[in-house]
Amino acid sequence: MKWIVLIVLISFTFADGVFVLTDDNFEQTINEKKVVMVKFYAPWCGHCKKMAPEYIKLAQQVKESNEDIVIAELDATVHTKAGAKYEVKGYPKLKLFVDGVPIDYEGERTSDSILRFIRKKSQPASVELKSQEEIKRKTEIKGRRCILISDNPEHLKGYMSTARIMEKFSFFHTSEELGKTVFPEITKPSVVVLRDFGQQQLIYEGPIDSDKLANFLKKNQDDDVVDLDSDLTNEIFEKRTKKAVMLIYGDKIDEKLEKIFKAFAISKKSDEFLFVKVTNTDEQGQRIIKYFGIEPKEFPLIEILDYKSGSPIRYRFEGQFRLQQLEKFMDKYHKKELKRFMKSEPLPEKNPGPVFKVVGINFKKEVIDNDNDVLVKFYAEWCGHCKRLIPIYEEVAEQLKKNTKLKLMEIDGTKNDVEGVITKSYPTIFFFPAGKKDEPIKYDKQRTKEDFIQFLKEKATNPIELHKQDL
């Protein structure tokens, strides 16, 4: 009898040392290669183009260090199956696959930062504890810790998958015999969760698979009230996996108010919300206060922050800081009886153009409720990039001022709220085409006069008329 052995090899195409993935080889690659970093990109995306040199540098660093890591990219506008399966909604999106398990990368887009992340995540997700002494030491150290007590290999496999995607915990595992000597209350395979706050020891006895254990840990990874840090900022404002109830302070801390806020958090705690304390005495707090344009005279205040619709929606508590009143405030939120907090500057006294100033209270009238094409620059006074853009944007407006159905406008995004527009950073520029104002187009080209004009030529509803020298 003759045996025919078929060997299937993954076929790669290279681009500057980066593996080029397609829908045809994607699943095979992430399942057969232990560590694969994938950049999902769109050829037209300005952020993708900006990141490209760092990603090529990353591939070169991996090659030079001879590490068994695949640095890959996928054009998600052509090969759409992988992007849809892994819920890629923006570009560039980086996902690390370790043994086929996806882990989102949300850090800085530099080669060094990405490589540090890859090395950390590709290490063993959980450390085995081989003695009573080792287990006891883990109960005495600080931080969030998980210890799997089980002899079942399938339990360990599911536990490892959870460990790879959870950032805030350290993960360990041990045998049932050893585990039960330190935790005699354990009667079956379980996960012991140790924390420095609240109930300091929790025992999870549910199915030890990635989803159910991960949901349990997410629910119990934070205290009733947490101080804002970089991880929480990312979770609330970038990943948007949680809504936030924020107690926002200036320099002066009110201990009585903190006790009321903690009681409020305990009363209304849920998987949906994080109760967060924000002060302008730390870096993260200063960033949030500046981003929302909160003035010192407004401190202290309590707000619900909801990103459900895509853009940040704020509901501000009005009244005396009493537990019963705060509970009613939350109840009204759930009943959809709260009115959104909208801030706006006063209407400008003079607005001669060619760049027209718009504010929160007249944005709908000037931008939405008319048949003009409108380009709107969202800026912040403190933003250096915004300051450098001022003369360029004004020059574009001057060159196009003959076009009566085309308006170039600007709005201070830190002092005015606008419905339906997401501005994570400044400057952010949107084009509102006539007849399709509910489908604004984000400007993502270079910020030069020529690129602005070319963009408007392509997107404007009516033909663009230029001065002769710009024809």
Write down the pLDDT at residue 218: 84
Q: Taking the chain (471 residues) in consecutive chunks of 10 residues, what is each chunk's mean pLDDT?
A: 40 71 92 93 90 92 88 93 88 92 86 87 88 93 91 92 84 95 93 89 87 87 80 70 86 87 90 86 84 86 81 87 95 92 89 91 93 95 93 95 94 87 87 92 93 94 73 47
Residue in the block written with tokens 């254990």: 213
- Encoded amino acid at 225, one letter: V
Longest Cα pair distance anywhere in the chain, in angstroms? 93
208's CB contacts (< 8 A; 6+ apart) are 148, 150, 152, 155, 158, 159, 189, 191
Q: Domain spanning 355-470: which CATH class is it, in words?
A: alpha beta
What fold, for 127-219?
Glutaredoxin (3.40.30)
Domains 127-219 and 355-470 share a fold: yes
CATH 3.40.30.10 for domain 13-121 = yes
Burial of 234 (0-12, 13-18, 19+ CB in 10 A): middle
CB < 8 Å & 24+ apart, contacts of 349-353: 353/397, 353/401
Write down the pLDDT at residue 471: 47
Query: In this structure, are residues 465 and 405 in contact, taking their beta carbons and an 8 Å threshold?
Result: no
Domain range summary for the chain, segments of one domain joined by +: 13-121, 127-219, 226-334, 355-470
Q: What CATH architecture is 226-334?
A: 3-Layer(aba) Sandwich (3.40)
Residue in the block written with tokens 């030069």: 448
Write down the pLDDT at residue 424: 75
Query: For the chain, what is the total number of helices (H) and then of strands (E)?
Result: 15, 21
Question: Alpha carbon 189 to chain centroid distance?
Answer: 35
Residue in the block written with tokens 């591939």: 59
Write down the pLDDT at residue 317: 95
pTM for this one? 0.53
Residue in the block written with tokens 């007849």: 435
